[in-house]
Each structure stands twice: as C-alpha cells, then as structure tokens.
Amino acid sequence: MNILLRLMINSLAVFAASYLLPGVHIRNFTTAIWVAVVLAVLNLFIKPIFILLTIPITIVTFGLFLLVINALMVLLCSKLVDGFSVDGLIYAVLFSLIVSVVGGIMEALTR
C-alpha cells in the first residue's frame, strides 16, 4: 500500500510541476503516472551509475552536479514516455526541483 501511495504522490507532483512550468508538457494524468513509474525505475537503476561515474565532478561542484544528473534522468524519461516532453535542460532542472519539493511536502502531510 505504501508503494501505491508514493506513486500517487509522485504522480501528483509531476502533474503539478507540468502545470507550473511552461516548458514541460504532459498529455493527461495517466501519462503523469507513467512518468512517475519510469522516473522511479531510472532513479533506481541508471542514476547510481551516473553518480558513480561523475564523483570527481560532483566533488568539485560541491554536489551541484547532482542537479544535472537529475535533469538528465528527466530528459531520458521524456524520451521514453509518450505524451511527456521537456523543452530543455533548464526546464528539466526546474521540473526535478519542483517534483522533489512538492513530493516531499505531500509525503510529510500524509504521515
């Protein structure tokens, strides 16, 4: 049950971020659910590999390069999910920040 609740929270966060950012386009809420699922899978399997390969850059930038890695995960997700598009790297960074903040607030409210 916890997984379904987190999926719905992340789907709502994705949908809210697409509403707030003009450079992020989502066809409908079903697409937002798929985006949340694909982002979870990418963050589980692909993101750790990117983090491991970019440790020197991450150290030099005091961890700010992790924002770029998150944006790359969003851009990769936009290539994989039909009906979801992001207009550029800046919108991908903003999208990942908004999804993180809104998702964190919503998860805190559900506890």
Virtual torsion, Cα 75, 59, 100, 87, nearest 10 deg = -20
Number of domains in the chain: 1
Residue 26 and residue 83 in contact, taking contact as beta carbons nearer than 8 Å: yes
Stretch 52-61: mean pLDDT = 96
Q: What is the pTM of this model?
A: 0.92
49 burial (CB, 10 Å; 0-12 / 13-18 / 19+) is exposed
To the nearest whole number, what is the mean pLDDT of the chain?
94
Strand partners, 84: 26
Residue 104 pLDDT greater than 90, yes or no: no
The predicted structure's pLDDT at residue 15? 94
Q: Could you list the residue range(s) of the whole structural domain that residue 36 is in?
A: 2-110
Residue 46 pLDDT greater than 90, yes or no: yes
